[in-house]
Amino acid sequence: MTITQTKPQFLTEALIEVLNNEWKINSIESGRSVYTQLEYEVGRKYIKVWSYLSDAGDRIRGRSCWMFVDKNSGECYKPASYKAPAKGVRYLITQLADNPHICDAYGSFLYL
């Protein structure tokens, strides 16, 4: 954790690292070459987590918004679009970082 990094940003980065490793290993073990990977961008109010398909480390096509995380409180939201989150807190980033098995590659865990 760097000096300028907030706790929600650190936990988001840790969650992404765990999920990327898990999904890559699962795809290799099942004989698939294409798997989902995550990356994040820090905005003014939210940390935006993006999802994209990867084939042997190369990005395939574009990316889609996977989740929004509030920079201050660590509240997680389902995306309403790639620009804004849907109303209603779905999880706290601490819950997801402690239990990464809740998350799936499609974001279905964010639905009510």
Residuewise pLDDT in 10s, the chain (112 residues) = 567 789 999 999 999 999 999 999 999 999 999 999 999 999 999 999 999 999 987 899 889 999 999 999 999 999 999 999 999 999 999 999 999 999 999 999 999 8
- Tokens of residue 58, six digits: 């190369």
- From the number of C-beta atoms within 10 Å of its C-beta (0-12, 13-18, 19+), residue 12 rates as buried
- Tokens of residue 79, six digits: 């995306």
pTM of the model: 0.92
For the beta carbon of residue 30, count every other beta carbon within 10 angstroms.
8
